[in-house]
Amino acid sequence: MIAGHVVRTPLVPTITLSNDAGVPVHLKLEHQQVTGSFKLRGAANALLSLDPERRARGVVAASTGNFGRALAFAASQAGVPAVICMSKLVPGNKVEAIRALGAEVRIVGTSQDDAQEEVDRLSAEHGMAMLPPFDHADVIAGQGTIGLELLEDLPDLETVVVPLSGGGLLAGIALAVKSANPRARLIGVTMERGAAMHASLRAGMPVLVEEVESLADSLGGGVGLANRHSFTLVRDLVDDVVLVSETRIADAIRFAYRQEQQVVEGAGAVGIAALMAGLIERPGRTIIVLSGRNIDMNRHAEIVSGQPAEATRA
């Protein structure tokens, strides 16, 4: 359904990481997607799957930035009104990028949960279709097309390293990859600060986690206490989840730029951070998904120049 609406992103070998890890390592350049992140796949699939009459009433979503940008783009292409609700923690560059695509932006509270309350109200009062950024079957299916591409490009893959937030990306890729290759290992990587899915997996159920600023701002937000899909899929299909520090995220952003000539945001760099830190045991033939590039370029310049790894400034 999304063919023609998204880019089939390249899978490229990385000599430096391969030499450091002692195994073949490839990078999935999903940050080269049209809107700068993988989110367009799920957003486009969910939007196009809506009944035309419901779609015409408009769509609404909560976002930490990248899903909102993707949904705003997909909605503009389809001529559909869109409202994106975000918290005050979302960096300004991501907010402005969404506005530039014609979507209405609402800044609500200091967490993804606060933004979701506004989404629920708009959906109930105006009949807008609510499209969650990760916990939605069509969104997960859209993200799963990445896994299909990985299998086509590197059928003998052994380990796939994927950024982890609400779990839509990791769940979709894991479903696709493990269906064809059950022995493949799927590793989720997230930041140490406010890692909601990691905390929920440890608790055995979705739990609330305080949102705090992080270089990996796109990985912020909760998983939803009423999570229907992504928590269970991540719990059942993913082999391990590892955490990386702010310093390691900054190092990975710097490495991606200097060694790979790739501009990636903090969330997109966490897989590189985990591999560089030796947190992926026995990786074998490895793919690292670079999930997004939507970083404030002034902040990127600071990180690349070696300034301290402090939290992203909105």
Select which of 28, 39, 94, 178 is catalytic: 39
- Give the C-alpha separation, 223 to 290, whole Å: 21
| Angle subtended by helix axes 39-49 and 66-78, to nearest 10 | 40
Token couple for 228: 């229907």
- Per DSSP, helices labelled H in 127-265 are 137-153, 168-180, 196-203, 230-237, 246-260
Active-site residue, 49 included: no
Cβ atoms < 10 Å from Cβ of 155: 9
Do residues 67 and 45 lie in contact, with contact meaning Cβ atoms separated by under 8 Å? no
Helices 39-49 and 168-180: crossing angle in degrees, nearest 10, is 90
Catalytic: 230?
no
Nearest CA among 134, 144, 207 for reference residue 172: 144
Catalytic member of 87, 200, 214, 291: 291
The C-alpha atoms of residue 78 and residue 165 are separated, in whole angstroms, by 28
The catalytic residue positions are 39, 291
